[in-house]
Amino acid sequence: MSKVIAIIPARWASTRLPGKPLADINGKPMIQRVYEAVKESDVDEVLVATDDERIFEVVSKFGNVLMTSPKHQTGTDRILEAYQMFKDRYEYVINVQGDEPMINPDDINSLIYNLKKDKWKIATLVGRLEEHQRKDRNTVKAFADMGEIVMFTRSPLFGNPNFFFRHIGVYGFSRPITEKIDKNVMIETTNEIVENLEQIRWGDNGIKFSYVITPGRYKGIDTQKDLDHYRSFLN
């Protein structure tokens, strides 16, 4: 069995842009644009996992949606809950953030290829690290060596750091890896707390990362300014 499900976490309570999954982008809510883009990839099923009835009602009109607990701290936790209902049917799960309307289906396909090549690694996306992003703590950097990501950090980079990429929070997990990274099984680590990056916990516990380099200029929609910029980009 090698079928793949993509699960898109979507919550209402964003601190900087509340209700952003339903933000209108040229006639469609943002979550629908993400959903439709993912549907164009080679995944076998797409599902939205939410804790909000408003999001549930809108998504149910165009796609598959599941209500999950409102207590989750991260999108990964929400995905892992939803995946429990589907793990007997799908060996792999792709985590696509609900605020990435620029997601490229080809990148998801490449992620799936990497994931199936080695199911004991977490597959993820990285992109080019722009000059202005090197010192930006909001930009997560990934250090790659010998075909794997060996470190994630928010720390500013100085000089000319080769082998560093901008990390894009899209992941691919195999079923056995989802069982390993469950927060009830794998406790948080000091490095994770310092950097405020959940993926560091996985690495600290011995899980390796493969990666796909995308040329796309991904930019999650976090603020009203981001939203306005993307609307203008489409126009």
In the predicted structure, residue 161 carries a pLDDT above the cut 80: no
Burial of residue 182 (CB within 10 Å: 0-12, 13-18, 19+) is middle
Q: pLDDT category, 1, cuts 50, 70, 90? A: low
In the predicted structure, residue 102 carries a pLDDT above the cut 80: yes
Q: Return all residues near 35 (Cβ < 8 A) that are at least 6 apart.
A: 8, 46, 48, 59, 62, 63
- In the predicted model, what is the mean pLDDT of residues 170-194? 92
Measure the CA–CA gap between 121 and 141, rounded to whole angstroms: 19
- CATH 3.60.20.10: does it fit domain 4-234? no
**Cα 224-229-233 angle, rounded to 5 deg:** 150
SS3 state at 81: helix
pTM of the predicted structure, to 2 decimals: 0.93
SS3 state at 5: strand
**Average confidence score pLDDT of the chain:** 91
The Cβ-side half-sphere exposure at 127, using a 13 Å CA radius, reads: 17
The Cβ-side half-sphere exposure at 117, using a 13 Å CA radius, reads: 11
Phi, psi (rounded to 5 degrees) for 167 = -80, 135
DSSP-H helix ranges across the chain: 30-39, 53-59, 75-83, 105-117, 175-181, 190-195, 198-204, 224-234
SS3 state at 30: helix
Q: What is the pLDDT of residues 30-68, one digit of tens each?
A: 999 999 999 999 999 999 999 999 999 999 999 999 999
